[in-house]
Amino acid sequence: MKEILKATVLMAVIIAVQMVLSYAFTYHVAEVFSRVSVTFLLYYYVFHSLKLISKKIMPNQKKEVLKNYFLIKILFLCYLLL
């Protein structure tokens, strides 16, 4: 529940910053900012949930899950570079 509240507050902050950026610069600058920040927020919570899941599994499976976790991080970084 705490994480949902944090995500909601962060979305409100992103919308407020988008409004300020569209007023100060152009709509396109604000749109790029909001897309990047919402994408970052999404992947942050995906990785955070994977980390929480990896803590709850059995110790003999932990290496495989961590390997998959790092693979997902690498794929995400490749996605950002494109």
Cβ–Cβ under 8 Å, residues 44 and 7: no
Candidates 12, 67, 78; CA nearest to 41 is 12
Please determine, for residue 14, whether its predicted confidence score (pLDDT) is greater than 80.
yes
The closest alpha carbon to 65, from 79, 53, 48, 76, belongs to 53
Query: Which residues touch 53 (CB under 8 Å, ≥6 apart)?
Result: 65
Q: Where are the domains of the chain?
A: 2-81
Whether residue 73 is predicted with pLDDT greater than 80 in this model: the reply is no
Give, in degrees to the nearest 5, the angle at Cα 79 between 75 and 82. Answer: 140
Is pLDDT at 69 greater than 70 in this prediction?
no
Distance CA 28, CA 17 (A): 13
